[in-house]
Amino acid sequence: DFQSAGEWLVENKYTSRDKLTIKGGSHGGMLVGACVNQRPDLFGAGVASVGVMDLLRFQKFTVGYAWVSNYGSSDNADEFTNLRGISPLHNIKEHPECQYPAVLLVTADHDDRVVPSHSLKHIATLQATLGQSAKQTNPLMIMVETKAGHGGGKPTSKTIDEYTDVFCFL
C-alpha cells in the first residue's frame, strides 16, 4: 500500500521519483528501511528514525519481546522465514538497475525501546554492501542523538535541531 501510494503520486505528477521522500519512526522506520530495500528506484530519499531494523533479533533487547505479538518471533521456525524476508537489515543488496536513494538513519544513544544497535548495524551493512559501489553516489548516513531516547519527552530545542538536520540532509 505504501509503495503503491508513492507510485500514484509519481504517476499523477504530484512529485517525481527523485523528490519523493519517505520518513518514519520506530515501526515506521522499519517500513522506510523495508521500502528502500524493496523499491530503491521509487524514492529519492528515506529517513528512518529509531527504526526496528533487525527483525531476527528484536525480541532479545529491552521491550522488543512485546512486539512478538505484532511480528512473530525468529525463535519460532515457522515465523523465521517471513521475518527474514521483510527484515530491513537482512535484505540490503545492490540493485543492478539503480542505486539506493539517499538514506539517513536517526537513532539515540539512550533509546530503551528500539536500541541503537538496530540503526548502527543497518548503516554498517548499507556501507559495507553499497558504500564502495561506483554506482552509489547518494549518501548513506546516520545521525546519533546524544542524551536522548526514543523521542517522547524530547525538549523542543532538541526537536528543532533534529528537524533542522533532517531538512539539511534532504
Q: In what order do the strands lie in the sheet with 140-145?
A: 21-25, 45-49, 102-108, 140-145
The residue from 54, 73, 111, 122 that is catalytic is: 111
For residue 109, indicate whether it is catalytic.
Answer: no
For residue 117, indicate whether it is catalytic.
Answer: no
Grid cell in block for residue 56: 531476527
The residue from 90, 118, 122, 150 that is catalytic is: 150
- Number of alpha helices (DSSP H) and beta strands (DSSP E) in the chain: 6, 4
For residue 110, indicate whether it is catalytic.
Answer: no
Grid cell in block for residue 8: 500514484
Grid cell in block for residue 46: 528515506
Grid cell in block for residue 14: 504530484
Backbone angles phi, psi at 76, to 5 degrees: -95, 115
Distance CA 23, CA 12 (A): 21
Please identify every residue annotated as catalytic. Answer: 26, 111, 150
